[in-house]
Structure 1
């Protein structure tokens, strides 16, 4: 007869799998199996099929890495990252500092700034495209320009200068700044008040001096996490680019991030799922390498002094 303690352990294990089993099964079925099958497809000729039989080795990887359009999509990602990462970081930190200093209605303003996070990227992109940055005189941006006597701007089709970056960056800023503001708020609330008291006794002036020598260094771990998440999310940009720039004639040749390029490779006219899978694997490896390098560079996981 099993002992009472063993029966309890079995009972706990049973209920553990009852509650977590469906989620584990869903994770394996809808995440790990597709990932594994994508890697499998990347080594095969898979035109118009997800069950290939012809093994091609590294041919798809050589083709995707030699494709100027794919390399151009990586350059688009680099430009997008250069815009969105520092802008989101600075704006979310500034909002967190402002909300943290409030003595009343703090929860209200925190909720107001966080609410856009719940909005769909597709819906936000359509609002930006149809209402705010419409290329005709009825769009809000062109209406404001008209008040100053300026001509309407075709925001999404003008490439010299590339005004479409203003539309893409602002919609992403509106959507994600609130989330990172919450992360910074959590970091600010973890800073001991005694540090500011000691700084005041030492003659430190409130404002920039206190922020530079106390607040910003204390937010180091939060800053590292925010930058890592921002870069990974920039790699995964798709919805705003696709819904802002595509039209009845298709997607323009400019501002194609990697996921948009792979979408047209795998699901476009050629239906080359093997080549698209190879590109997806390359993109996943790039994200993994960039994340590890950033983590090592910023000392992620090291104990703070």
Structure 2
């Protein structure tokens, strides 16, 4: 029996690696190896090469941290986060509450709101740029403004006021609100109905009072996870910025998020992969610090008494 048990365990281990081995291999080759290589490059003078030999120590980090363009990119991220995180949180939570109260066609509306999640960021940015917020009078937004006698607005080239933020934020809202709505729907389904029944017995009125004292506190864990994902995704913003704001002349000097800065640093005219890698490491550390601080502040993973 002992020999049979050992053979069975070895067989199970073999099948485990048969099914998971390719995924582990792909994760190592396409994720961990590039990450390690990027950290290694950040300590070398890597102009136009990925196999440098001139060790520079922390010079690349000093250069990227001393670059006003990189600090401006971090400021752009902070501003984008200030817009997109609360807006997406409020919209997705509102959609989840509305869909959860539907008695009919709930699956239909859930699918309708979730469907934009499957759309490519590049395609969505081009649709927003060419059809909705086109800078001429034929765009949807300018057509609506024309109905009220207003002049067309060059949405993506006007910096005072910075109308381009409206374009960037709305396309991201359209793309990701449905995904976070599904997360909130899952959180709403985990709330025991007995809580609402007990609140009704105690005289709580349905609506804002029930939401404030029962629904919202019960969604605490989901809310923390949603905010964390929103902040991390805001750090990774690239497609919508690049495809909305760049043109044949290149990318404008304003509204450059960190990934756009790193793209032009590492793959632009300078081809400075060392400084680009150092910027990527700094950005990864910032994301890690923000995530840890936010998790500790919100008590994520803490056992409730």
TM-score surpassing 0.5?
A: yes
The match for 1:219 is 219
Q: TM-score, normalised on structure 2?
A: 0.99
Residue deviations 1:46-70 (CA, integer Å, cap 9, x gap): 0000000000000000000000000
Q: Give the whole-Å Cα distance in 2 for the aligned partners of 1:139 and 1:97.
A: 33
Per the TM alignment, residue 304 of structure 1 is displaced from its structure 2 partner at its CA by 3.0
Q: Secondary structure at the match of 2:115?
A: helix
Q: Tell whether 2:129 aligns with 1:129.
A: yes
**Runs of 5+ unmatched residues, structure 1:** none
Are 1:258 and 2:258 counterparts? yes
Distance in 2 between residues matched to 1:9 and 1:288, nearest whole Å: 38
For 1:290 and 1:153, locate their aligned partners in 2 and report how far apart those are by CA, in whole Å. 37
Q: Where does residue 108 of structure 1 map in the other structure?
A: 108
RMSD: 0.8
Q: String of CA shifts for 1:73-116, please: whole Å, max 9, x gaps.
A: 00000000000000000000000000000011100000000000
Name 2:63's counterpart in structure 1: 63
User: What residue is the counterpart of 2:278 in the other structure?
Assistant: 278
Structure-to-structure mapping, 1:148-187, within 5 angstroms: 148-187=148-187
What residue number does 2:292 align with? 292
1:110 match: secondary structure? helix
**1:303 CA drift (Å):** 2.0
User: Mapping of 1:73-152 within 5 angstroms?
Assistant: 73-152=73-152
Q: How far, CA to CA, are the matches of 1:261 and 1:304 in structure 2?
A: 42
Q: How many residues align?
A: 305
Alignment correspondent of 1:20:
20
The offset of 1:2, in angstroms, is 7.2
Shift of residue 215, structure 1, vs aligned partner: 0.1
CA distance in 2, matches of 1:165, 1:79: 10
State the alpha-carbon separation in 2 of the partners of residues 79 and 31 from structure 1.
29
Give a deviation string over 1:183-235, Cα, whole Å, max 9, x none: 00000000000000000000000000000000000000000000000000000
CA offsets, 1:256-298, max 9 Å, x none?
0000000000000000000000000000000000000000000
C-alpha deviations, 1:229-250, integer Å up to 9, x for none?
0000000000000000000000
Counterpart position of 1:47: 47
Give distance in 2, aligned partners of 1:234 and 1:67: 21
Q: For each residue in 1:121-146, what CA deviation from the matched residue of structure 2 results, as whole angstroms up to 9, or x when unmatched?
A: 00000000000000001000001111
Match of 1:188 in 2: 188
> What does residue 205 of structure 1 align with?
205
TM-score of the superposed pair, with normalisation by structure 1: 0.99
**Alignment partners' CA distance in 1, 2:112 and 2:304:** 33
Runs of 4+ more than 4 Å apart: none
CA distance in structure 2 between the aligned counterparts of 1:237 and 1:277, rounded to whole angstroms? 17
Secondary structure in structure 2 of the residue aligned to 1:221? helix
Partner of 2:36: 36
Give SS of 2:253's match. coil
Residue aligned with 2:151, SS: coil
State the SS of the aligned residue for 1:3: helix
Q: Deviations over 1:128-171 (max 9, x none)?
A: 00000000010000011111111000000000000000000000
